[in-house]
């Protein structure tokens, strides 16, 4: 509301929380061939470091596509 005073009186309709699951094995960035010729790229398990490593992981995942 400090940045946009016009929303100071807005009613909160709900709250949502995005969980950032981690994996003991670390981040998974891997391509998986699907039946029919598709390609599934896994890019998960970042935990709380998701924002920190996002650009590097996105580049690595994109490189798997070609």
pLDDT one-digit tens code per residue, 53-62: 888 999 999 9
Contact between 29 and 53 under an 8 Å Cβ cutoff? The reply is no
C-alpha neighbours within 13 Å on the C-beta side of residue 62: 6
Average pLDDT over residues 7-35: 87
Would the pLDDT of 28 be above 90? Answer: yes
DSSP 36: T
> Averaged over 1-30, what is the pLDDT?
86
Confidence of residue 50 (pLDDT cuts 50, 70, 90): confident
């Amino acid at each position: 509301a400090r940045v946009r005073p016009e929303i100071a009186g807005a009613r909160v309709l709900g709250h949502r929380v995005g969980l950032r699951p981690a994996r003991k094995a670390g981040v998974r960035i891997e391509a998986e061939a699907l039946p029919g010729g598709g390609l599934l790229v896994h890019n998960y398990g970042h935990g709380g470091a998701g924002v920190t490593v996002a650009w590097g992981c996105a580049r690595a995942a994109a490189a798997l596509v070609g």
